[in-house]
Structure 1
Amino acid sequence: MADILIIDTDKDFAAHMAKDLSRHEIDTTYCNSIAKAIGLLHTGNYKAVILDEDLPEGKVLDYITAIRKIQPYPEVIVLSQNGDPNTAEQAVQNGAWDYITKPPSIHRIIAIINRVKEYHTERQAKCSPVSLRREGIIGNSRTLQSCLDKVAQASTSDTNVLITGNTGTGKELFAKAIHKNSAREKNPFVVVDCAALPDTLAENLLFGHERGAYTSADSSSVGLIKQADGGTLFLDEIGELPLAMQKVFLRVLEGRCFRPVGGVKEITSNFRLLAATNRDLEGMVSSKEFRQDLFYRLRGIHIQLPPLQTISEDINDLTCHFIRRHCQQLKIDSKGFSPDFLNALMLYEWPGNIRELINTIEQAISRAETETILYPRHLPRTIRAHIAKRELEKNAPKAVKKENKIADAANYPDLKTYRNEQTAGIEKRYLKDLIEITQGNIKQSCHISGLSRARLYALIKQHGITRISSR
């Protein structure tokens, strides 16, 4: 497996450099585009990337950060034809290891690569393996594993962590995993739902109050921040925190001390901070909706959780887990599922992510009643209808091409005949799927298709489709 990847549009130059490096026992491969490089990086184990500044696919500076995020996080050495000092500065700021001009001295390249290898060896030696308890996180996709690596990294320190991702991707689950794998695991894990904090009571809930602070304050109250003393404070939906409270909380974060409402003395709380949001905080900083100083404080370690649609290879494991868990909760025998059931789950886009998948599986188990195997018919009708529509859109053009191969020009139909034949075929396939999905429910079929009852009946009769009811 190669250690070094060269990305350069000049194939002769790249091949020559790779050959020179190989003579010095540095295993090297090369390609001529970012697109090809990304594929190689995802399947390889490269320690360094030698990147031509003059690629036609855009500004190379934009690709440095993206390359360095791919495991095992290779270093980037930028090659420049012009050697512009400003570009060199920007490249290093973007994370480049070095910036050198063409044609480079092979001895200089070798020296740089050897330093990179030494750095990687030293870093791996200092990073003792972390035995990570997943705490209910399911999946083995490369993307998810990258997130788990960051959980392991976060669990060995007290650095602030920002977890971002769409609704339903499991942000709180990852926050709990960090807490449970940290030295604070035996102390409290306190959740603050920033979206549910009332403006008038926010300080009271966070900081607590002393007796007599309000007319009805007959006794003192410990706030959520103090409750997290020695443990972890998890600010869920931090993007919903009002600007005024952002300023107040920033002061608490800087000193880990605060004054309860109605209090005179400041009290301290030794908490570790985790925060999560489904909003674009960088965009909110730009639009002055979120404080820049607080944003940088939060983002000590950043974990970006993937949408379920992008890690479809994990759906099988997730499905098995949630079926088994729900059946245990119901105290019934665990159910199996057909290949078609899994295929349907893989085809769906999951806008609600894992939370929606859990709800869907629970509905399917409920619909299956005493049946031991889950089939597509047990899925919610909205999901089946969506899948049928996608499949029809995807397969219709292929079907037209496949069914209309002609032997010679003499048999080729006129446009009207051709159009009518194809329309009829598409209509029939659509209606058969529609009736199957709705289990013959005419009212629902009309709603999904947009057809009137009379028109739907006429088309069903025209195409000879059975299995309908008058519902």
Structure 2
Amino acid sequence: MPDVLIIDGDTRFAEDLSARLAARGMPADHCQTMSKAMARLHTGSYKAVLLGNNLPDGKHLAFLPEIRDIPSRPEVLVISDDINPDAAESAILKGAWNYLTKPLSLQRVLALLQRVMDYHAQCTATGAPISLRRCGIVGNSRALLACLDDVARAAAAESNILLIGETGTGKELFARAIHLNSRRATRPFVVVDCAALPDTLVESILFGHEKGAFTNAENRTVGLVRQADGGTLFLDEVGELAPSIQKVFLRVLEGRSFRPVGGAQEITSNFRLVAATNRDLETMSKAGAFRQDLFFRLRGMHITLPPLRTIPEDMSDLTSHFVAQHAKRHKLPIKGISPDFLEALMLYDWPGNIRELMNTVEQALTMAGTEPILIPRHLPRTLRAQVARRSLEKGQTAPDGCSPLAADPASFPSHGTYRDQQIAEMETRYLTSLMDVSQGNIKAACALSGLSRARLYALMKTYGVPRHRKAR
């Protein structure tokens, strides 16, 4: 079976390119629609896809993430009729191997395809973990699984890794997963909290010092960089490194050698570097707030972790995991989770991400006491107040325990305001259901509801309910 699939709505172009590739020892299948292409990709084992932009069933770049999620993990070379810098940038950011414009240079296409084949062969030879040790990472959303694929590739390599994500997204957990799935798993995993390094002792902490190197240096110490020899050095919140240390650390990365404070000789340390940040280091480097050369050195491979609000499908698994974890730690029976409790969690923004969810679940368990089921009332009051607000803004019914009547006194509504909100919500739900059941037929809707035509139209206008509902 060919390793290459050409997808292009121009039949003549696809057939001609397929024939020319085959004549040079690179056989390729071809099809003209994305629907046919996806069927072939799911049943085949293609290593490369040439994705044209003349598709009758959608814009080609919109399909890039879906193609990259195919189990065989094909690399995608995007082909366009136009020279469009914005489209080229978008394609690469979405995971494309390269961006080509017509007319194609056959030699360039062949060279790129050969690189893709070599890359697949190398990945197979290096043996990225087939069964990845998750090391406590919970969830099965598409975004999270894509990150785990990157963890597997990172674990099989030795290049520097940069983990990017908001506070609380689990960057240290992912760093440990990379380490424990790598060849260095039995060696040390050393954490450096860059935000907590004191300016006066930072070099001593990182590189160690000799006895008598400074006041109170009564004994020789081994720094964290030396402790990571043979293992992994994890720089957490690397964007917080002081400029003076950035310069020193750049030299350490280049030669994997350093001199302890007060030492006469340089010492080597064969560590693998994984760094993490919640800041935009690229923007910082352009503004002069972070060394650009260090940024390029750190970013050998980068993995962007999704914030919790973008992966609501993982909320149930994460919540169950933390309930079980806290129950075990405090030697308590595992409690059940009510649907309303989970609904409330999914309506919250989670600015502190997974770390905030973990702490919230622990608070809820404490509030629940001996009650066997977690309900919204067990959640912190500030969280319930925000959920109540968001529910009303979206025209939804707030989960039980998260209505405005359960919010803070400062936001407690007047009787009239609360009544009007509830009536409006009830009327909107009723009219929406009425239009669904009657399929937008006003005569049928009047017969079902007992409302006059004039009254029905007036209510629909008041609450902004359209006559024709879209089919689901």
Q: Same fold (TM over 0.5)?
A: yes
**Secondary structure at 2:33 match in 1:** strand
Instruction: Describe how 1:15-26 pairs up with structure 2 within 5 A.
Output: 26=29
Instruction: Describe how 1:410-425 pairs up with structure 2 within 5 A.
Output: none
Q: CA deviation at 1:51?
A: 3.5
Verify: 1:332 aligned to 2:332, yes or no: yes
Distance 1:217 1:247 in 2: 25
Identity %: 48
Distance 2:392 2:318 in 1: 27
**Secondary structure at 1:350 match in 2:** coil
Distance 1:432 1:79 in 2: 51
**C-alpha contact (below 8 Å) 2:92/2:99 kept by paired residues:** no
Q: Partner of 1:227 in structure 2? A: 227
Distance 1:464 1:266 in 2: 73
Verify: 1:352 aligned to 2:355, yes or no: no
Q: Partner of 1:263 in structure 2? A: 263
Q: 1:221 to 1:25 in 2, by over 3 A?
A: closer
**C-alpha contact (below 8 Å) 1:64/1:76 kept by paired residues:** no
Verify: 1:75 aligned to 2:38, yes or no: no
Q: Partner of 1:415 in structure 2? A: none
TM-score (ref. length: structure 2) = 0.72
Q: For residues 27-60 of structure 1, what are the alpha-carbon distances to aligned partners after superposition, in whole Å with 9 as ceiling and x for unaligned?
A: 524369xxxx99x999999741423499xx99x9
Q: 1:66 to 1:25 in 2, by over 3 A?
A: closer
**C-alpha contact (below 8 Å) 2:384/2:401 kept by paired residues:** no
Matched pairs, number:
405
**C-alpha contact (below 8 Å) 2:80/2:100 kept by paired residues:** yes
Q: Partner of 2:31 in structure 1? A: 28
Q: 1:15 to 1:309 in 2, by over 3 A?
A: farther
Q: CA deviation at 1:431?
A: 12
Verify: 1:137 aligned to 2:140, yes or no: no
Q: Partner of 1:414 in structure 2? A: none
Verify: 1:192 aligned to 2:192, yes or no: yes
Q: 1:129 to 1:160 in 2, by over 3 A?
A: closer
Q: CA deviation at 1:335?
A: 0.7
Q: For residues 199-251 of structure 1, what are the alpha-carbon distances to aligned partners after superposition, in whole Å with 9 as ceiling and x for unaligned?
A: 11111111111111113222212111112122211111000001111000011
**C-alpha contact (below 8 Å) 1:3/1:45 kept by paired residues:** no
Q: Partner of 1:361 in structure 2? A: 361
Q: For residues 395-442 of structure 1, what are the alpha-carbon distances to aligned partners after superposition, in whole Å with 9 as ceiling and x for unaligned?
A: 17xx9xxxxxxxxxxxxxxxxxxxxxxxxxx9xx9999211x24xxxx
Q: Partner of 1:441 in structure 2? A: none
**C-alpha contact (below 8 Å) 1:41/1:70 kept by paired residues:** no
Q: Partner of 1:279 in structure 2? A: 279
**Secondary structure at 1:209 match in 2:** coil
Q: 1:300 to 1:63 in 2, by over 3 A?
A: farther
Q: For residues 355-414 of structure 1, what are the alpha-carbon distances to aligned partners after superposition, in whole Å with 9 as ceiling and x for unaligned?
A: 010011111111111111111111111111111111111117xx9xxxxxxxxxxxxxxx
Q: For residues 171-194 of structure 1, what are the alpha-carbon distances to aligned partners after superposition, in whole Å with 9 as ceiling and x for unaligned?
A: 011111111222222222111111
**Secondary structure at 1:99 match in 2:** strand
Distance 2:422 2:310 in 1: 40
**C-alpha contact (below 8 Å) 2:75/2:97 kept by paired residues:** no
Q: CA deviation at 1:87?
A: 11
Q: Partner of 2:411 in structure 1? A: 448
Q: Partner of 2:180 in structure 1? A: 180
RMSD: 4.6
**C-alpha contact (below 8 Å) 1:335/1:373 kept by paired residues:** yes
**C-alpha contact (below 8 Å) 2:256/2:268 kept by paired residues:** yes
Q: What is the one-letter code of the residue matched to 2:375? A: Y
**C-alpha contact (below 8 Å) 2:92/2:98 kept by paired residues:** no
Distance 1:88 1:306 in 2: 23
Distance 2:116 2:160 in 1: 30
Q: CA deviation at 1:164?
A: 0.8
**Secondary structure at 1:199 match in 2:** coil
Q: What is the one-letter code of the residue matched to 1:179? A: H
Q: Partner of 1:203 in structure 2? A: 203
Q: 1:69 to 1:165 in 2, by over 3 A?
A: farther
**Which region of structure 1 is more displaced relative to structure 2, 307-316 or 220-229?**
220-229
Q: Partner of 2:308 in structure 1? A: 308
Q: Partner of 2:374 in structure 1? A: 374
Q: CA deviation at 1:26?
A: 2.3
Distance 1:122 1:432 in 2: 54
Q: 1:115 to 1:64 in 2, by over 3 A?
A: farther
Q: CA deviation at 1:162?
A: 0.7
Q: For residues 36-87 of structure 1, what are the alpha-carbon distances to aligned partners after superposition, in whole Å with 9 as ceiling and x for unaligned?
A: x99x999999741423499xx99x9x999989976635322423368x9x99
Q: 1:211 to 1:335 in 2, by over 3 A?
A: same
**Which region of structure 1 is more displaced relative to structure 2, 119-128 or 246-255?**
119-128
**Secondary structure at 2:311 match in 1:** helix
Q: Partner of 2:23 in structure 1? A: none
Q: Which runs of 5+ in 2 are unaligned?
A: 20-26, 424-472
**C-alpha contact (below 8 Å) 2:368/2:374 kept by paired residues:** yes
Distance 1:312 1:463 in 2: 27
Distance 1:89 1:305 in 2: 23
**Secondary structure at 2:395 match in 1:** helix
Q: What is the one-letter code of the residue matched to 1:172? A: E
Distance 1:317 1:133 in 2: 17
**Secondary structure at 1:187 match in 2:** coil
Q: What is the one-letter code of the residue matched to 1:146? A: A
Q: 1:27 to 1:120 in 2, by over 3 A?
A: farther
**C-alpha contact (below 8 Å) 1:238/1:276 kept by paired residues:** yes
Q: 1:206 to 1:147 in 2, by over 3 A?
A: same
Q: 1:286 to 1:64 in 2, by over 3 A?
A: farther
**Which region of structure 1 is more displaced relative to structure 2, 339-348 or 305-314?**
339-348
**C-alpha contact (below 8 Å) 2:179/2:185 kept by paired residues:** yes
Partner of residue 404 from structure 2, selected from 434, 439, 449: 434
Q: 1:309 to 1:42 in 2, by over 3 A?
A: farther
Q: 1:99 to 1:242 in 2, by over 3 A?
A: same
TM-score (ref. length: structure 1) = 0.72
Q: What is the one-letter code of the residue matched to 2:411? A: I
Distance 1:463 1:110 in 2: 62
**C-alpha contact (below 8 Å) 1:151/1:177 kept by paired residues:** yes
**Which region of structure 1 is more displaced relative to structure 2, 293-302 or 91-100?**
91-100
**Secondary structure at 2:261 match in 1:** coil
